Amino acid sequence: MNTTVTQNTVRELPELFLQMLDLRVHLWSLFFLVPVGRGQSLQTLPPQECEDVFHWMVDIARHLAVKTTEAQHYRRVALQRAAAEREGLGVEAFDTGPLYRWLSARTAELTAGRTLPERPMRPPIDTNAGRGFAFIDHLGNVYPSGFLPIAVGNVREQSFVEIYRNAPLMRARRDPNGFGGACGVCEFREICGDSRSHAYAVSGDPLAADPTCLYAPAAGHGESATFAPRSRPHEAADEYRRGRSRRSRPRSRRCP
């Protein structure tokens, strides 16, 4: 079951959580709105509120299998919470905001007196645009995702395998060392990979930092990283940027 998370729908999540339990859904996917196409008329959550929803998701994940779409930094929060738990710490160890407190209180109110099913938390799966996933439209155009409207090839002219493996944007997208801003130095970049669609929708650069994440990487402050980044070159990102500077920027960011 999919739910689009926007500023207008986020406070419906506790009721929807109960509905998902009643319907015994296999997996609840929270899709964090990307402001492209028709989505431009809706409002995305600011970074702190994304963070609050992620913490709430970690809380409910012991009752229902949940995942995010276009909010890959949920993986970071899930790992941080697991690391804190190993040290005997809970969510109080994190700077959660008013939305987290509201979601938690509303969920407690709705579930009072009810025995909820227990399950092991579903591990966040490392797939992302152009990394285990691609989108092909009805004309055969291939995109890293349906919300990243930069065509990287066409299956009528080229094999999909060739496009997926070798298109410059696909290669650059799998090279987080070449990402801009915080994402390029973040100790979680290999497992997060962040939302390239959000980066493109907001900045016009598919390799820019994800604007929906508030995390300040330890590496960016000269501190030791929680997860040591792998040392890898980032030729793919450089190659994509060189090619992109020769191409004109698209006039509109419509979804394929």
- Sheet with 153-154: list strands edge to edge: 135-136, 141-143, 153-154
Of the candidate residues 186, 199, 202, 219, the single one contacting ligand SF4 (CB under 6 A): 186
Does 192 contact ligand SF4 by CB under 6 A? yes
Our measurement of the distance from residue 253's CA atom to the centroid of its chain's CA atoms, rounded to an integer in Å, reads 19
Around Cβ 240, how many Cβ atoms within 10 Å?
22
Does 198 contact ligand SF4 by CB under 6 A? no
CA distance 134 to 71: 16
Show the tokens assigned to 200.
Answer: 């493109």
List, in sequence order, the alpha helices (H) in the chain. Answer: 13-23, 47-60, 74-86, 98-111, 160-166, 168-173, 181-185, 189-192, 196-203, 235-246
Instruction: With CB under 6 A as the rule, give the number of residues binding ligand SF4.
Output: 13
Residue nearest to ligand SF4 according to CB distances in the complex: 186
Of the candidate residues 189, 196, 237, 256, the single one contacting ligand SF4 (CB under 6 A): 189
- Min separation Cβ 254 and ligand SF4, Å: 24
- Min separation Cβ 36 and ligand SF4, Å: 18
Binding range to ligand SF4, per CB under 6 A, among 50-58, 78-86, 154-162, 183-191: 183-191
Single-letter code of the amino acid located at 133:
F
DSSP 3-state assignment of 188? coil
The DSSP call for residue 131 is B
Of the candidate residues 79, 134, 213, 236, the single one contacting ligand SF4 (CB under 6 A): 213
Our measurement of the distance from residue 106's CA atom to the centroid of its chain's CA atoms, rounded to an integer in Å, reads 25
Binding range to ligand SF4, per CB under 6 A, among 133-141, 153-161, 208-216, 241-249: 208-216
Which residue, 72 or 141, is less far from ligand SF4 as judged by CB? 72
Which residue, 167 or 182, is less far from ligand SF4 as judged by CB? 182
Which residue, 9 or 226, is less far from ligand SF4 as judged by CB? 226
Largest CA distance in the chain: 62
Binding range to ligand SF4, per CB under 6 A, among 16-24, 81-89, 129-137, 189-197: 189-197
Around Cβ 158, how many Cβ atoms within 10 Å?
15
CA distance 13 to 69: 15
Does 81 contact ligand SF4 by CB under 6 A? no
Around Cβ 101, how many Cβ atoms within 10 Å?
12
Which residue, 140 or 211, is less far from ligand SF4 as judged by CB? 211
The residues that touch ligand SF4, with contacts defined as CB under 6 A, are 73, 76, 182-183, 186, 188-189, 192, 194, 210, 213, 215, 217
